[in-house]
Amino acid sequence: MNNSLANSGRMVWAALRMLLALTVVTGIVYPLVVTGIGQAAFHSKAGGSLIKVDGKQVGSRLIGQSWNIKGTDKPDPKWFQPRPSNSNYDPLSTGSSQLGASDPKLVRMVDNAKKQVADFNSVPRSAVPKDAVTGSASAIDPDISPAYARIQIDRVAKANGLPPAQVRKLVEDHVTGRDLGFMGEPRVNVLELNIALKDLTAKH
């Protein structure tokens, strides 16, 4: 009986020591090591890829945001506009609309959005690319296609009193190619493009 209790006690004590050791290793040491490596090797990404302008944080290059007229839900013609967002670009509420491609509601939404984008940018509906009227799976995609950026050039140039050629060059300078030359699609980061646009406007 005593031997049985002693053996049980030793097993319980061994289990507790193992639990403590694993807690320290997986709950403290491992997270600290991974965080340290991330901060050292990928400081910007590990910190959320935040962007500051004049010392003020204006957003993250990884998260999309709205560019509306202040105090309204109407897009500001002075800025390049992002993809639609099902969550109003809330990073705490990501996700698509969950509507299927053939859902009549989605078809109507896309059709209405295409007309709005075409009218807003004074281009034919046939020139409106898919990403201009459909949200991403995350609802916070920070990038748009070069095609969507290009149909906005004339409208942005006119609203800011800039030569279209300068705005066109600005767009082309901000086109990022496929990762490793073959992964993904060419894209334009809207926040970075609008920051460059602000700098260009300030010079005129």
User: DSSP string spanning 49-67?
Assistant: -EEEETTEEEEETTS----
Mean pLDDT per 10-residue interval, the chain, length 204 residues? 69 83 82 64 57 85 93 95 89 70 81 96 97 89 97 98 97 91 89 97 88
| CA–CA gap between residue 129 and residue 138 (Å, rounded) | 19
Burial class (CB in 10 A: 0-12, 13-18, 19+), 82: buried
Whether the model clears a pTM of 0.85, i.e. scores above it, the answer is no
Give residues with Cβ within 8 angstroms of 53, minimum separation 6.
195, 198
| CA–CA gap between residue 159 and residue 193 (Å, rounded) | 16
